[in-house]
Homo-oligomer: A and B are copies of this chain.
Amino acid sequence: MLVVKKFGGTSVENKERIMSAVNRCAEEYHKGNDIVIVLSAMGKQTDRLLEMAQDINPNPPKRELDMLLTTGEQTSVSLMAIAFASLKIPAVSLTGFQIPMHTTTNYGNARLKKIETERVEYELSNRKIVIITGFQGVNKYDDYTTLGRGGSDTTAVALAAVLGADRCEIYTDVDGVYTADPRIVKNASKLSQITYDEMLELASLGAGVLHNRAVEMAKRYNVQLIVRSSLNENEGTIVKEEIVMEKMLVSGVACDYDVAQIAIIGLEDQPGVAFSLFRHLANHHVNVDMILQSVGRNGTKDISFTVTADMADITVETIKRHGNSSLKCHEIKVENDIAKVSIVGAGMITNPGVAASMFEALYDVNVNIKQISTSEIRVTVLIDQQHVNTAMNAIHSKFELES
């Protein structure tokens, strides 16, 4: 059996954690399994490297930043190979350059294009444990690239896909995927299984356990994912296409503070104005979410939408520059003290009353809903940040997720 195991930064942050991961893999190796390991940089190393760069130049060129950051994973893979050698287990570390992992040229946020398997398969055929740098690759210029934050998950899933691995285990510092963040909802319970689609909605809503691109790729190539803790032997959560357990209406409640609401008040009501606005934002790489349009005063209309918090200023700037040419409005407002709270569940598709139950739960605890958006398996509300804890606990109870 071939298993791909991905360990995050906290799982390799020091000698003790590295040895713990190594011992865990050694056990499985001795049972006869083939093992490919994907690593992130140690602990906060990526942040430290970023700080070093920004201390020299607040706007470091992205190409050079990738050159710098890729040293992080190279350090952790070589140290882990050195750790395996101390147990007399043959292991070999490989970088994105050596595989090679071909990516797009987009420094800082590249996408995997093609992963060669020859070298990895050769090493596995010699019963070596193969330890591969996550998060990185090389582009067509032979330059180092990175996949963006959390990209190591994507590397692991992509490797599992091209190597035809039997499963891909993502080791993290939590036990698996929970019905809600246990720091917010005390009696949140761990899910033993979840579908790709549910996981996708949860990841994009800030559950923070798995990188979204990794789940998308796992779904596309039908890679069985397991999210589990590197600190204990607990079972973790299996992410796959169909889950066999009795379907719950709602699998989990998630919140996301990384959001700002932009409201454009008193927009001139001419045909194509909204289209032109969002085309303009897209051209400037502003990703827009939760769009709401309403009728304003005197034949104008109001449009509001959300963006990630760090994009709020850029978004307003972009709209204003656009305004000089064609877009006329009365006022642009930005609201930051808000959060998204969502329920996710594959069972929702066939149960129209789910959204209503959620709104009822919020009404019961006096939380005001500012905006609503829904998908087939998700309902999201925008509320004030101060109400997040109350809201999540109320919703969690409403759907009896404690069990």
Q: CB within 8 A of A85: which of B18, B57, B68?
A: B57
From 77 to 100 in chain A, residues with beta carbon under 8 angstroms from any chain B beta carbon are: 77-79, 81-83, 85-86, 92-93, 95, 97-98
Produce 1/0 per residue, A38-81, CB < 8 A to B.
00000000000100110111011101110110110011011101
Is the beta-carbon distance between B52 and A64 smaller than 8 angstroms? no
Task: Indicate if the CB atoms of B93 and A75 lie closer than 8 Å.
Answer: no
Contact between B61 and A67, CB atoms less than 8 A apart: no
Q: Are A61 and B49 in contact (CB under 8 A)?
A: no
Most buried by B among A19, A64, A71: A64
Q: What B residues does A81 contact at CB under 8 A?
A: 61, 64, 67
Smallest CB separation, A48 vs chain B (Å): 11
Contacts A15-B55, A82-B68, A142-B98; A75 near B60 (Cβ below 8 A): no
- Complex CA distance for A79 and B143, rounded to whole angstroms: 16
B57 & A82 in contact (Cβ 8 Å cutoff) = yes
Query: Across the interface, do A75 and B79 meet the contact criterion of CB distance under 8 Å?
Result: no
Q: Is A78 within 8 A of B83, CB to CB?
A: no
Total identical chains: 2
Please give me the residue from chain B that is nearest to A93 by CB atom: B67
In the docked arrangement, what's the CA distance between A52 and B81, Å?
13
Contact residues in B for A71 (Cβ distance below 8 Å) = 71, 74-75, 78
0/1 interface trace, chain A 7-47, chain B, CB 8 Å (1 if under): 00000000100110000000000000000000000000000
Per-residue CB contact flags for chain A residues 116-149 toward chain B (1 = under 8 Å, else 0) read 0001000000000000000000000011000000
Give Cα A18 to B52, complex, Å.
12
CB-defined contacts of A142 to chain B, threshold 8 Å: 97-98, 119
Most B CB contacts (10 A, CB to CB) among A56, A63, A97, A143 go to A56
Contact across chains for A56 and B97 when beta carbons are under 8 A apart: no
A71 to B, closest residue via Cβ: B71
- Contact with A56, one of B68, B83, B98 (Cβ below 8 angstroms): B83
A residues lining the B interface (CB < 8 Å): 15, 18-19, 49, 52-53, 55-57, 59-61, 63-65, 67-68, 70-71, 74-75, 77-79, 81-83, 85-86, 92-93, 95, 97-98, 119, 142-143
